[in-house]
Structure 1
Amino acid sequence: MDVMWVLAFSFALLMLLFSSLSRSQAGNRAECGQQRLPPGPPRWPIVGNLLQLGRLPHRDLARFCSVYGPLVYLRLGDVDAVTTDDPNVIREILLRQDDAFASRPWTVAAAHLAYGCGDVALAPMGSHWKRMRRICVEHLLTSKRLESFTAHRAEEARHMVRDVWSRTMAGEAVDLRQVLGAFSMNNVTRMLLGKQYFGPASAGRREAMEFMGITHELFRLLGIIYIGDYLPAWRWIDPSRCEKRMREVEKKVDDFHQKIIEEHRKRRREAGVEHELDFVDVLLSLPGEDGKERLDDKEIKALMQDMIAAATDTSSVTNEWAMAELIRHPRVLRKAQAELDAVVGRDRQVRDSDLFRLPYLRCVVRETFRLHPAGPFLIPHQSLRPTRLLGFSLPARTRVFINTHALGRNPHVWGAGDLEEFRPERHEKGRGQGGDQPREDFAILPFGAGRRRCPGAGLGVVMVLLALATLLHGFEWAPPDGLRPEAIDVVEVYGMTMPRATPLRAVATPRLAHLYE
């Protein structure tokens, strides 16, 4: 954020906003019964702690926790907020007091990019959210339905191998962001939309790249700390034109979703045409609420967006980080490959049924979740009523930032000696916290917990494991251009998801050439 703009705007509107801000603060304190708020950093008038958040706010909030304790209070403009990176506090919020903290805050980005906060991920607690989540759990993400797409996942794994093989034969370094993004997107769009976007019989590379670009921009905009969410008057000037960009992306996303719905309706009207039912077909057949015959288009598009955006971006980001760390640590890579050879052999490719017999690979994934969570924070929670936490009083509508990036580096959980080291062995049975004690609950939260836990967690784990297992089993991997492994950077970019700053490129050498020739 531009600090000078914040300062200029804050002082220009100081007198205009002071009275309304004072009333808001007084009301919140009254709700708290004038009791203690958690400790936190000193605050500026009007803007509160907003000026103390830089381009990587997850690191700023982690620093506050290291100074003020496991639960830190912040005043962000006219919004009360707390942050934590402590498993015990997180357990209290997401498990023991889940009923008090299970809502979501309204944000400008969610209003534009999540159909007025009408999806599952960003909807406030209430009957609408419960119904939308029930549709996901009972109709879209059942074990039986996910199992029915096993053959599709196997086919996409073969497409991925052939893609890497063709690049290798051409002497090219492999752009793993592109390869892993195509794998994730094809799996999700085949389940949801009934078609591929990359590879044979795809919808077309131009449409695929445009769609992937929109998805990345969507996550960037949903994750930014937008000043207008905390100082509403900021939206009057919006010098960064952030809200204008949100409206542009909103239209592109909505046009894409509407096109898919119309394609499915047309296909359903064509008498005698039989096809495998995908998720959109299922949604078009479901009844709506309040006696409506069908779900309306807005509800269908909100569910489509959750499924597409969450499943494609988060799994591909996790896999790219995992591959980066494996290439940086050849010992770990060789150990994972030895496990694959022992379980799968060298005469066939990896199957879904192999994935749960690969304990070391699962430790690799868990260590990736620890060191490089898909997002720097869980999606923010919001308290539904005044409540008490660790003996402190929190007003209603307090925004809760659970810092997963800092959680994976908490020395009280993982030990202080090797927090930044990629070491999957720390997750083996009976080990954790850098020593011999069992792992702390809530120490890693790739899918959240409690009522707002991601309903697609099972699918996400399978997609991450299958992509990694296929690439490690099929190929040797090394840095491009003669780089040393440790020279591969680990610089992240902030957003709702947190990818590498630059796409990962690597040199692949076939291990199982007899399967591809």
Structure 2
Amino acid sequence: MRNILRMAVGDKWLGIYTSEEGEAFRRTLDEAFAVTSGLRNNIGEWVPWLGRLDVQSFTRRMMRVHEKLDRFSSQILDEHETDRRRCARDGGGEFTATRLEEEMEARLTRGGAKAFILDIIAGGTETGATTMEWAMAELLRRPDAIAATTAELGRVVGRGRWVTERDLPALPYLDAVLKETMRLHPVAPLLAPRHAREDRVVAGYDIPTGTRVLVNAWAVARDPASWPDAPEAFRPERFLAGDAAEDVDVRGAHFELLPFDVGRRMCPAYNLAMKEMAAALANLLHGFTWRLPDGVAPEDVSMEEFFGLAMSRKVPLVAIAEPRLPEHLYAGVD
């Protein structure tokens, strides 16, 4: 999350360790995610006439969050508009400042710029963090998978430094762990809505033109027809060389695995997301020895799901980490 915020809005707005405004911004983002996640329990969505009464205060909470985010977005834009000339001159600066320079030609409205910023944050923070938590949960349920990942990291990286982006292509097992995590736990189980462009018959059902179509990526990724080898099991090895799914990728070419959607509605930042998650997960496993709390067996780890803005864990993961690299490498790590 910190990397995405740094790229999108700058260091000041990262939250803890940076500024008071940044920490308030982070708290507002957390509140926004919490409100969105709770919408499925909004009785007004199921009984429309009760929606006007706002008996659970969802509307009031969303309005408060909207006002806070709008205020923060205005402040961020004002600051970056001031820096725009410097960024154009020096060729540096954060993503938002650079994007605002292009705004003059694209004629993006101020409201559009605010939405653009929040889209980047919403699409690139909670989703990645949720995937990371699912990955750690699955690995803690399979100690042999953690051992295989750390052994690969030891061979490629060694114990004298942290993992960098340059190391990622040489870490196929780590890549397989991420793919398998996204197969079993897609953060967006229902892909972006689509409309049928022509009359079709699918599995015996008539689908007329204009029908709204929702693709259940969660079900497809667990379908025995696509994944005949234990589709419900966490088995990263299925994506390694010599296995049936070794060539299956997440970039939309294989319909049995669509964590980033496909076609024109595919996530435009999937490449960045894969690198960010891979680097973060690699360093978590390379830098620390992980275990479950005393008295908790691997099979006791809850894997219940909760669907909100992203499909997160219903029960937060609790694990114990112990440093495993030389002490001097942890200086300045937060």
- Please state which band the TM-score falls in when normalised by the shorter chain: 0.7 to 0.9
Alignment of 1:516 with 2:330, yes or no, is: yes
Alignment of 1:484 with 2:301, yes or no, is: no
- Once the 2 structures are TM-superposed, how far is the Cα of residue 450 of structure 1 from its aligned partner? 0.6
Are the aligned partners of 2:153 and 2:286 in contact in 1 as well (CA < 8 Å)? yes
- Out of 475-484 and 457-466, give the one that drifted further: 475-484
AA matched with 1:355: L
- Once the 2 structures are TM-superposed, how far is the Cα of residue 249 of structure 1 from its aligned partner? 2.9
Give the structure 2 partner of residue 367 of structure 1: 180
- Once the 2 structures are TM-superposed, how far is the Cα of residue 490 of structure 1 from its aligned partner? 0.9
Bigger Rg, which one: 1
Give the structure 2 partner of residue 505 of structure 1: 318
Are the aligned partners of 1:219 and 1:497 in contact in 2 as well (CA < 8 Å)? no
- Return the TM-score normalized by structure 1: 0.56
Alignment of 1:322 with 2:135, yes or no, is: yes
Are the aligned partners of 1:492 and 1:499 in contact in 2 as well (CA < 8 Å)? yes
In percent, how many aligned pairs have the same letter? 38
Give the structure 2 partner of residue 280 of structure 1: 96
Give the structure 2 partner of residue 452 of structure 1: 265
- Once the 2 structures are TM-superposed, how far is the Cα of residue 235 of structure 1 from its aligned partner? 4.7
Alignment of 1:428 with 2:244, yes or no, is: no
- Once the 2 structures are TM-superposed, how far is the Cα of residue 283 of structure 1 from its aligned partner? 2.5
Superposition RMSD in Å: 3.2
- CA separation of 1:321 and 1:455: change in aligned 2, threshold 3 A: same
Are the aligned partners of 1:214 and 1:253 in contact in 2 as well (CA < 8 Å)? no
Are the aligned partners of 1:284 and 1:294 in contact in 2 as well (CA < 8 Å)? no
Query: Which whole-Å deviations, capped at 9, do the CAs of 1:56-105 have from their partners, x for residues lacking one?
Result: xxxxxxxxxxxxxxxxxxxxxxxxxxxxxxxxxxxxxxxxxxxxxxxxxx
Query: Which whole-Å deviations, capped at 9, do the CAs of 1:120-148 have from their partners, x for residues lacking one?
Result: xxxxxxxxxxxxxxxxxxxxxxxxxxxxx
- CA separation of 1:215 and 1:359: change in aligned 2, threshold 3 A: farther
Alignment of 1:419 with 2:231, yes or no, is: yes
Alignment of 1:465 with 2:282, yes or no, is: no
**What is the aligned counterpart of 1:213 among 26, 30, 38?**
30
Query: Which whole-Å deviations, capped at 9, do the CAs of 1:342-378 have from their partners, x for residues lacking one?
Result: 1111111100111111000000001101111112211
Give the structure 1 partner of residue 192 of structure 2: 379
**What is the aligned counterpart of 1:304 among 88, 92, 117?**
117
Pairs within 5 Å for 1:60-209: 185-195=1-11, 196-198=13-15, 200-202=17-19, 206-209=23-26
AA matched with 1:317: T
- Once the 2 structures are TM-superposed, how far is the Cα of residue 476 of structure 1 from its aligned partner? 0.6
AA matched with 1:310: G
- Once the 2 structures are TM-superposed, how far is the Cα of residue 231 of structure 1 from its aligned partner? 8.4
AA matched with 1:423: R
Are the aligned partners of 2:84 and 2:100 in contact in 1 as well (CA < 8 Å)? no
SS in 2 for 1:402: coil
Q: Quote the Cα distance in structure 1 between the aligned partners of 2:195 and 2:62.
A: 23
Q: Quote the Cα distance in structure 2 between the aligned partners of 1:237 and 1:396.
A: 37
AA matched with 1:312: T
- CA separation of 1:287 and 1:310: change in aligned 2, threshold 3 A: closer
- Return the TM-score normalized by structure 2: 0.85
Number of residue equivalences: 325
- Once the 2 structures are TM-superposed, how far is the Cα of residue 481 of structure 1 from its aligned partner? 3.5
Where structure 1 has 5 or more consecutive residues not aligned to the other structure, the ranges are 1-184
AA matched with 2:14: Y
Q: Quote the Cα distance in structure 2 between the aligned partners of 1:516 and 1:505.
A: 22
AA matched with 2:232: E
SS in 1 for 2:127: helix
SS in 1 for 2:307: coil
Give the structure 1 partner of residue 72 of structure 2: 256
Query: Which whole-Å deviations, capped at 9, do the CAs of 1:358-410 have from their partners, x for residues lacking one?
Result: 00000000110111111221122234x55324375434442222112212211
AA matched with 1:214: E
Are the aligned partners of 1:197 and 1:207 in contact in 2 as well (CA < 8 Å)? no
User: Which structure 1 residue ranges, 4+ long, deviate > 6 Å from structure 2?
Assistant: 225-234, 436-440
Q: Quote the Cα distance in structure 1 between the aligned partners of 2:184 and 2:214.
A: 18
- Once the 2 structures are TM-superposed, how far is the Cα of residue 462 of structure 1 from its aligned partner? 0.7
- CA separation of 1:438 and 1:340: change in aligned 2, threshold 3 A: closer
SS in 1 for 2:70: helix
Give the structure 2 partner of residue 247 of structure 1: 63
